[in-house]
Amino acid sequence: MTTVLAGAEPEPVPFIGSEALLVLLVQLAVLLAAAVAAGALARRIGVPAVVGELLAGVLLGPSLLGHAWPAAEHWLFPSDPAQQNLADAIGQLGVILLVGLAGAEVDIGFVRRQRRVVTSISVFAFILPFAAGVGAALLIPASMRVDGASTAALAMMMGTALSVSAIPVIAKILAEMGYLHRNVGQFILASASANDAFAWILLSITASLATVGVRTGDIAVSIGATVGVFLVGLLILRPLVRPLLDRCERAAPAVLIPVCTVLILAAAALTQALGLEAILGAFVAGLIIGPRTPALIGPLTTVTMAVLVPIFLATAGLRVDLTLLADPVIAAVTVGTVAAAAVSKFTGAYLGARLARQTRWEAAAIGAGLNSRGAVEIVIAMTGLRIGVLSAGAYTVVVIVAIATSIMAPPLLKLAMRRLTATEEELVRQELRTPV
Stretch 406-426: mean pLDDT, rounded? Answer: 84
Q: Is residue 408 part of a domain?
A: yes
Most confident of 14-23, 357-366, 397-406, 422-431: 357-366
CA distances from 326 to 215, 227, 268, 291 (A): 41, 44, 40, 48
CATH of the domain at 278: 1.20.1530.20
Residue 304 has pLDDT above 80, yes or no: yes
199-209: string of b/e by CB count within 10 Å (b at 16+)? bbbbbbbbbbb
Query: Cα separation of 136 and 337, whole Å?
Result: 6
Q: What is the pLDDT of residue 434?
A: 47
5 pLDDT band (50/70/90 cuts)? Answer: low
> How many domains does the structure of the chain reveal?
1
Q: What is the DSSP letter of 419?
A: T
Contact 204, 156 (CB under 8 A): no
Stretch 304-332: mean pLDDT, rounded? Answer: 87
Q: What is the pLDDT of residue 362?
A: 94
Q: Is residue 75 part of a domain?
A: no
Provide, rounded to the nearest whole percent, the portion of the chain with pLDDT above 70: 92
Q: What is the pLDDT of residue 433?
A: 56
Phi-psi region of 292 (alpha: psi -120 to 50; beta: other; left: phi over 0): beta
Q: What is the pLDDT of residue 121?
A: 94
Amino acid identity for residue 129 in this structure: P
Residue 17 has pLDDT above 90, yes or no: no
Query: Cα separation of 243 and 184, whole Å?
Result: 28
Q: Is residue 178 part of a domain?
A: yes
Contact 42, 52 (CB under 8 A): yes
Residue 218 has pLDDT above 70, yes or no: no
Q: Per-residue pLDDT tens for 75-130?
A: 999 988 888 889 889 988 988 898 888 788 777 777 788 889 989 999 999 999 99
217 pLDDT band (50/70/90 cuts)? Answer: low
Most confident of 132-136, 228-232, 381-385: 132-136
132 pLDDT band (50/70/90 cuts)? Answer: very high
Q: Is residue 168 part of a domain?
A: yes
**What dihedral angle (degrees, nearest 10) is formed by the CA atoms of 269, 274, 277, 278?**
-10
Q: Per-residue pLDDT tens for 241-261?
A: 999 998 988 888 888 999 999
Q: Is residue 50 part of a domain?
A: no
Query: Cα separation of 340 and 377, whole Å?
Result: 15
| Nearest residue to 304 (alpha-carbon basis) of 62, 48, 93 | 93
Q: What is the DSSP letter of 61?
A: T
Q: What is the DSSP letter of 325?
A: G
Q: What is the pLDDT of residue 435?
A: 46
436 pLDDT band (50/70/90 cuts)? Answer: very low
Domain of 180 in residue numbering reads as 91-290+326-432
Q: Is residue 46 part of a domain?
A: no
pTM tops 0.75, yes or no = yes
Q: Which residue has the higher pLDDT, 164 or 342?
A: 342
Q: Is residue 80 part of a domain?
A: no
Query: Which 3 state secondary structure label does DSSP give 146?
Result: coil
